[in-house]
Structure 1
Amino acid sequence: MANEQNLVPMNQRTKSEAREISRKGGVASGKVRRQRADLKRSFETLLSSEVNNEQMRELLIRLGYDPTNEMALALVILQKALNGDVKAFTKIQDVIDSE
């Protein structure tokens, strides 16, 4: 934990110190944004790929859906909601309401 006596407010720092601190914050923020974007692209790729589980694959095809991980996940969440899982129901509502 920081020692309160060692903290120097930004308005008491020189312009060059404040600029350098802000620059470091901007660089760190950009790095985190890129990491999140990469993770999102990875999940989109994985969700659009075909299901490995043969039973789930056959079930999705029988129901007339594409046998993707995304559809399998949606089906599993729906099954949980139908069995009374309130969190699953809430997630489904969130997805539907976000459009």
Structure 2
Amino acid sequence: MPNEQNLIPMDQRSQKEARELGREGGRASGEARRRKKSLREAAELYLSLPVSDKRAWNKLAKDGVAPEDVDNQMAIIAGLSIKAAKGDAKAAKVLFDLLGDQSKTEDEVKVVIDV
């Protein structure tokens, strides 16, 4: 477990040792980036799949979503919109964050939801 006695600053290590630690850190960083990229690609694939639940598909179609646009991503957005309209401030914040609308303050979000 790290503590002050076993932590050695990089400027007090040999050049060879510092280089090796940097190389190991670079490898770990690359592995983490590849893992995140793979996870992001899997999420994008799943969200782009068509909705398999007929009730959800019918509800989205009834709400005016074009049949070719009915996918899992649209179902999630529709669910967030419904929750936000019912007064869920967290759902509203998520929607505003997705839209990139950071100019709204929390008080403005509450006013929009209360209306």
Q: TM-score, normalised by structure 2?
A: 0.80
Aligned counterparts, 1:62-73, within 5 A: 62-65=62-65, 66-73=69-76
Q: Distance in 2 between matches of 1:83 and 1:64?
A: 20
Q: Distance in 1 between matches of 2:71 and 2:3?
A: 53
**Which consecutive residues of structure 1, in runs of 5 or more, have no partner in the other structure?**
none
* Equivalent residue for 1:82, pick from 63, 81, 85: 85
> Partner of 2:48 in structure 1?
48
Given the alignment of the two structures, is residue 19 of structure 1 paired with residue 26 of structure 2, yes or no? no
Deviation at 1:19, TM superposition (A): 0.4
Q: Distance in 2 between matches of 1:87 and 1:29?
A: 32
> Partner of 2:97 in structure 1?
94
- Specify the code of the residue in structure 2 equivalent to 1:57: W
Q: Distance in 2 between matches of 1:84 and 1:61?
A: 24
Q: How many residues are treated as equivalent by the alignment?
A: 98
Higher helix fraction (1 or 2): 1
Aligned-residue Cα RMSD (Å) equals 1.2
Deviation at 1:27, TM superposition (A): 0.3
**Which consecutive residues of structure 2, in runs of 5 or more, have no partner in the other structure?**
102-115
Deviation at 1:4, TM superposition (A): 1.3
Q: TM-score, normalised by structure 1?
A: 0.93
Task: State the identity as a percent.
Answer: 41
- Specify the code of the residue in structure 1 equivalent to 2:88: D
Deviating above 6 A after TM superposition, structure 1's stretches of 4 or more consecutive aligned residues are none
Deviation at 1:64, TM superposition (A): 3.0
